[in-house]
Amino acid sequence: MSQDNEPVVQTSGLTKRYGDFTALDSLSIHVNRGEILGFIGPNGAGKTTAIKILVGLSKPTSGSARIAGVDCSQGARKIKKLVGYMPDRFGSYDNMRVREYLDFFGAAYGIPLAERQQRIREVMEISNTAYMQDKFVESLSHGMQQRVGIARTLLHNPEVLIFDEPANGLDPKARIEMRDLLLDLAARGKTLIVTSHILPELARICNTIAIVTHGKLRAFGKLDDVMRQLCPRRSYEVQLVELKDVAAAEKLLVDVLQADEVVSASQTERVLRFPTSRTEQELSGVLSRLVSAGIQVAQFREVAGDLEDAFLSVAGVGGDKASAQKSAPVAAAS
Amino acid sequence: MNSLLLWKNPILRRELLDRLRSLRAFASILAVAIGAALLVILRWPSESTLDIVSQGAMQVFRPLAFGLAVAVMMLVPAFPATAIVRERRRGTLALLLNSPLRPTDIYFGKLLSNVFLAFVLISVSLPSLGACYAMGGLSLQSHMLPLLTILVCMALQYSAVSLWISVQAGSSDSSLRWSYAAVLILAFLSLAPSSIYGNLPGWQSAIAQKLTAISPMPALQEITGSQSATTEFATSGGWKSYVIGATITTLLFAIATIVKLDPLLLDRPRPTGKIVKNKNTVGGWARRMVYLIDPEKQKVGIPLFINPVMVKEFRTRKFGRLHWLLRLIATCGVISLFLTVITATGTVSWGVDRIAATLVLMQIALLIVLGPSLASGLIAGEVESGGWQLLRMTSMSTLRIVNGKLMSVAWTMLLILLATVPGYAVMMWIQPATIGQVQRVLISLGIATMMIVLVSACISAFCRSAAVATATSYGVLLAMFAGTFLVWLARGKPFGPIFVERVLSLNPTAAALAEIRVPGFESLNLTPISWWIGLCVSALCLLLLSIRTWHLARPD
Say which residue, B290 or A141, is predicted with more confidence: A141
Tell me the β-bridge partners of A85: A162
Going by pLDDT thresholds of 50, 70 and 90, the confidence category of residue A189 is confident
Residues 274-303, chain B, touching A (beta carbon < 8 A): 274-275, 295, 298-299, 301-303
Which pLDDT belongs to residue B2? 59
Which pLDDT belongs to residue B451? 93
Residue B482 confidence (pLDDT) above 70 = yes
| Residues whose CB is less than 8 angstroms from the CB of residue A324 and which lie 6 or more positions away in sequence, other chains included | A213, A214, A218, A314, A315, A316
B392-410 average pLDDT score: 90
φ/ψ (deg, to 5) at B330: -60, -40
Residues of chain B above pLDDT 90, percent:
16
Closest CA to A274 of A237, A300, A231, A318: A237
Which pLDDT belongs to residue A323? 45
A169-195 average pLDDT score: 86
Which pLDDT belongs to residue B287? 67
Q: For residues B367 and B502, what is the distance between their CA atoms, to the nearest angstrom?
A: 23
Instruction: Determine whether the interchain pair B299/A100 forms a contact, defined as Cβ–Cβ distance below 8 Å.
Output: yes
State which residue of chain A sits closest to B396, comparing Cα positions: A108
Q: Shortest Cα distance from A18 to chain B (angstroms)?
A: 10
Instruction: Determine whether the interchain pair A76/B555 forms a contact, defined as Cβ–Cβ distance below 8 Å.
Output: yes
* Closest CB from A58, A73, A113 relative to B301: A113
| Cβ–Cβ < 8 Å for B460, B384 | no
Instruction: Determine whether the interchain pair A135/B272 forms a contact, defined as Cβ–Cβ distance below 8 Å.
Output: yes
Say which residue, A260 or A82, is predicted with more confidence: A82
Instruction: Determine whether the interchain pair A57/B389 forms a contact, defined as Cβ–Cβ distance below 8 Å.
Output: yes
Residue B283 confidence (pLDDT) above 80 = no
Say which residue, B292 or B365, is predicted with more confidence: B365
| Cβ–Cβ < 8 Å for B556, A57 | yes
This model's pTM is above 0.95:
no
Q: For residues A119 and A140, what is the distance between their CA atoms, to the nearest angstrom?
A: 22
Q: Each residue of B209-251: pLDDT tens digit?
A: 788 888 888 888 888 876 544 445 445 557 888 899 999 999 9
Which pLDDT belongs to residue A332? 43
Which pLDDT belongs to residue B457? 94
Residue B288 confidence (pLDDT) above 80 = no
Closest CA to B332 of B262, B217, B215, B412: B412
Q: For residues B430 and B425, what is the distance between their CA atoms, to the nearest angstrom?
A: 9
* Closest CB from A80, A95, A107 relative to B321: A95
At position A208, the amino acid (one-letter code) is T
Q: For residues A172 and B160, what is the distance between their CA atoms, to the nearest angstrom?
A: 46
Give alpha helix (H) positions in B490-528: 497-504, 508-515
Task: Report the CATH number of the A9-229 domain.
Answer: 3.40.50.300
| Residues whose CB is less than 8 angstroms from the CB of residue B75 and which lie 6 or more positions away in sequence, other chains included | B28, B32, B118, B121, B475
Tell me the β-bridge partners of A236: A274, A302
At position A116, the amino acid (one-letter code) is R
Give chain A positions within 8 Å (CB) of B173.
none
B397-422 average pLDDT score: 87
Tell me the β-bridge partners of A29: A11
For residue A132, the 8-state DSSP code is G
Query: A13: left (phi > 0), else alpha (psi -120 to 50), else beta?
Result: left
Question: Residue length, chain B?
Answer: 556
Query: A301: left (phi > 0), else alpha (psi -120 to 50), else beta?
Result: beta
Q: For residues A266 and A238, what is the distance between their CA atoms, to the nearest angstrom?
A: 10
Say which residue, B334 or B396, is predicted with more confidence: B396
A6-15 average pLDDT score: 90
Say which residue, B127 or A327, is predicted with more confidence: B127
Q: Shortest Cα distance from B309 to chain A (angstroms)?
A: 8
- CB of A21 within 8 Å of any CB in chain B? no
Which of A226-230, A268-272, B386-390 shows the lowest per-residue confidence on average (mean pLDDT)?
A: A226-230
Give chain A positions within 8 Å (CB) of B393.
55-57, 80, 83, 85
Local structure of A40: helix, strand or coil: strand
Residues of chain B above pLDDT 70, percent:
82
B128-157 average pLDDT score: 86
Q: For residues A240 and B518, what is the distance between their CA atoms, to the nearest angstrom?
A: 101
Q: For residues B394 and B388, what is the distance between their CA atoms, to the nearest angstrom?
A: 10
Which pLDDT belongs to residue B459? 94
Which pLDDT belongs to residue B1? 56
* Closest CB from A97, A104, A135 relative to B302: A104
Q: Shortest Cα distance from B450 to chain A (angstroms)?
A: 26
| Residues whose CB is less than 8 angstroms from the CB of residue A28 and which lie 6 or more positions away in sequence, other chains included | A11, A12, A13, A14, A63, A217, A220, A332
Q: For residues A139 and A92, what is the distance between their CA atoms, to the nearest angstrom?
A: 10
Going by pLDDT thresholds of 50, 70 and 90, the confidence category of residue B54 is low
Q: Shortest Cα distance from B334 to chain A (angstroms)?
A: 29
Q: Which residues of A152-174 are buried (b: 16+ CB within 10 A; e: fewer)?
A: bbbbbebbbbbbbbbbeebeeeb
For residue A18, the 8-state DSSP code is E
Residue B326 confidence (pLDDT) above 50 = yes
- CB of A164 within 8 Å of any CB in chain B? no
ipTM for the predicted complex comes to 0.71
Residue B44 confidence (pLDDT) above 70 = no
Which pLDDT belongs to residue A322? 42
- Calculate the CA dihedral of residues B381, B382, B386, B391 and round it to 10 degrees: 170
B503-528 average pLDDT score: 83
The fold adopted by the segment(s) A233-303 is Alpha-Beta Plaits (3.30.70)
For residue B190, the 8-state DSSP code is G
Closest CA to B378 of B298, B329, B319: B319
Residue B436 confidence (pLDDT) above 70 = yes
Give chain B positions within 8 Å (CB) of A105.
390, 394
Say which residue, B420 or B288, is predicted with more confidence: B420
Q: For residues B426 and B341, what is the distance between their CA atoms, to the nearest angstrom?
A: 8
Q: For residues B135 and B171, what is the distance between their CA atoms, to the nearest angstrom?
A: 48
* Closest CB from A56, A57, A139 relative to B273: A139
Residue A253 confidence (pLDDT) above 80 = yes
Mean pLDDT estimate for chain B: 80
Which residue ranges make up each domain of chain A? Answer: 9-229, 233-303
* Closest CB from A57, A110, A152 relative to B555: A57
SS in 3 state form for B263-315? Answer: HHHHCCCCCCCCCCCCCCCHHHHHHHHHHCCCCCCCCCCCCCCCCHHHHHHHH
Q: For residues B201 and A49, what is the distance between their CA atoms, to the nearest angstrom?
A: 73
Closest CA to B273 of B245, B298, B251, B253: B298
Instruction: Determine whether the interchain pair A113/B318 forms a contact, defined as Cβ–Cβ distance below 8 Å.
Output: no
Q: Most B CBs within 10 Å: which of A17, A85, A94, A113, as the mutation test of the B interface?
A: A94
Which pLDDT belongs to residue B545? 94
Which pLDDT belongs to residue B75? 84
Which of A169-173, A235-239, B50-54 shows the lowest per-residue confidence on average (mean pLDDT)?
A: B50-54
Q: For residues A76 and B111, what is the distance between their CA atoms, to the nearest angstrom?
A: 51
Say which residue, B310 or B315, is predicted with more confidence: B310
φ/ψ (deg, to 5) at A195: -105, 150
Going by pLDDT thresholds of 50, 70 and 90, the confidence category of residue B541 is very high
For residue A210, the 8-state DSSP code is E
Which pLDDT belongs to residue B57? 74
Query: A161: left (phi > 0), else alpha (psi -120 to 50), else beta?
Result: beta
Going by pLDDT thresholds of 50, 70 and 90, the confidence category of residue A3 is low
- CB of B432 within 8 Å of any CB in chain A? no
